[in-house]
Amino acid sequence: MVRTTIPLASSKSESNRALIIDALTGFRCDLQNLSTARDTQTMIRLLKSEDATADVLDAGTTMRFLTAYFSVTGQQKTMTGTPRMCERPIGILVDALRSLGADITYLKNEGYPPLQIKGFSPSAESTNRLSIRGDVSSQYISALVMIAPLLPNGLTLELTGAIGSRPYIEMTLEQMRYFGADVRADWETKTITVASSPYVPKPYAIESDWSGASYWYSVAALATDERAEINLLGLKARSLQGDSAIVEIMRSLGVKSTFTDTGVRLTKIPTQQSLTCDFTDCPDLAQTVAVCAAVKGVVLRMTGIESLKIKETDRVAALQAELQKIGAELVEIETNHLYEVHQLAIAPAGPATIDTYDDHRMAMAFAPVAMQQEIIIDEPGVVAKSYPSFWEDMARVTTVKFINE
């Protein structure tokens, strides 16, 4: 019988934002329950380091947040990372920071890391009003608004086009308000206004990670035991995290959520035959939901996954390759907009070996497949990026085989 309690990892999204705000107060906040994820530990290490080079490894959030932080605090740093990190665009953020007074140059390819940050000097030519695309990366927007209270005239940010991952922006704004920032957001006019006013140091406790919880929803959905019950600790019914959307998405895939004093209890309910999901506001859930739907034979129509192409890997291409190995496919119905997951007529024989592409979410999204069929994960250590204890926790409910550990 599948019946277990999982002490989830803390949210690295909340942790990374809290760490930047804490640094902007002069490290005077009391941050509790910080994530043990590699991304967060990298952030902690680099915030405390006096080295001239800041190597973020493969941490995109860390690269973007620290580029803004080092700029506004006038630090001279070389920002770099893994080869894949140096293929991920950062030009939109750099252009915005330059407009605010940052001196930043590219050391190799225009628009991409590595970068040289040489200082920050707002002048008469600097601005306190910027226009930035809202459909590329919410992390650019979060990076800019978090440093805005330290700007001499604050900042008004106008978002153009569609706004992707809006819950992550709202998470940033709520944390800023908690620490005393004067922030106003008008979503009708797509404008965020931040006054020039220092943060107020306060204690802050990090919630458990809803992204990490999503894999346990998939475990519950794929469990063959109809009496399966999984208790996830440290989650809140009213969360700042956009990935809490998994509650409603997984209801269609056969999982009921019941909130308790300690977190949320997952139990099984009937599954729908088809599901349509817009992942614009929660792109990190896309892989988990796609794999779960594929195994359950649910036809899944997906929109809002364009940003997956510039993540740790091209996650759309990776899903298309790996879903084939478990007897399903991801088909592009409308170019760069609408995709569909469905089962193949003939399933492959033998256990599937899943390539992870140096992407933590590929490993964890496919792991729950082991609830129904043998599966082998290549390079399982990638989970350290966000959920270091994932395989230990998975061992409570099923066996997953590994290669290249």
Residue with tokens 């909340």, as numbered in its chain: 14
pLDDT in tens, 200-242: 999 999 999 999 999 999 999 999 999 999 999 999 998 989 9
Selection from 321, 248, 334 nearest residue 291 by Cα: 321
Q: Looking at residues 30-41, what average pLDDT do you find?
A: 94
- 210-403 fold: UDP-n-acetylglucosamine1-carboxyvinyl-transferase; Chain (3.65.10)
As a whole number of angstroms, the distance between CA 11 and CA 31 comes to: 13
181, 212, 245, 263: CA torsion to nearest 10: -80
Go through 124-152 and write b for each residue having 16 or more CB atoms within 10 A of its CB, e for each that does not: eebebebebebbbbbbbbbbbbbbbbbbe
As a whole number of angstroms, the distance between CA 248 and CA 257 comes to: 9
Cβ–Cβ under 8 Å, residues 137 and 307: yes
pLDDT band of 348, cuts 50, 70, 90? confident
Selection from 135, 242, 142 nearest residue 192 by Cα: 142
pLDDT band of 121, cuts 50, 70, 90? confident
Q: Evaluate if residue 31 carries a pLDDT over 70.
A: yes
Selection from 73, 80, 74 nearest residue 54 by Cα: 80
The angle subtended at Cα 392 by Cα 387 and Cα 395, nearest 5°, is: 125
Strand order in the sheet with 115-120: 53-55, 77-80, 115-120, 102-106
pTM: 0.84
Contacts of 229 (CB under 8 A, 6+ apart): 2, 3, 4, 265, 266, 267
Q: Looking at residues 30-51, what average pLDDT do you find?
A: 95
Contacts of 141 (CB under 8 A, 6+ apart): 132, 134, 157, 159, 169, 172, 192
Helices and strands (H, E) in the chain, number of each type: 12, 21
Residue spans of beta strands (DSSP E) within 139-220: 155-160, 183-186, 191-194, 203-205
Contacts of 171 (CB under 8 A, 6+ apart): 13, 14, 17, 240, 241, 242
Residue 284 annotated as catalytic: yes
The domain defined by 3-205 carries CATH number 3.40.50.300? no
Residue with tokens 């899944």, as numbered in its chain: 300
Determine which one of 284, 314, 359, 378 is catalytic: 284
The backbone region for 119, taken as left when phi is positive above 0, alpha when psi lies in -120 to 50, beta otherwise, is left
Q: Looking at residues 113-123, what average pLDDT do you find?
A: 90
pLDDT in tens, 279-325: 999 999 999 999 999 999 999 999 999 888 878 789 999 999 999 99
Please tell me the predicted confidence (pLDDT) of residue 165.
87
Selection from 275, 266, 209 nearest residue 241 by Cα: 209
Cβ–Cβ under 8 Å, residues 136 and 92: yes
Q: Structural domain boundaries of the chain?
A: 3-205, 210-403
Do 3-205 and 210-403 have matching folds? yes
Go through 275-303 and write b for each residue having 16 or more CB atoms within 10 A of its CB, e for each that does not: bebebbbbbbbbbbbbbbbbbbebebbbe
Q: Evaluate if residue 125 carries a pLDDT over 60.
A: no
Please tell me the predicted confidence (pLDDT) of residue 390.
96
Reading the block at residue 167, the tokens are: 């819950």
Report phi then psi at 382, rounded to 5. Answer: -65, -20
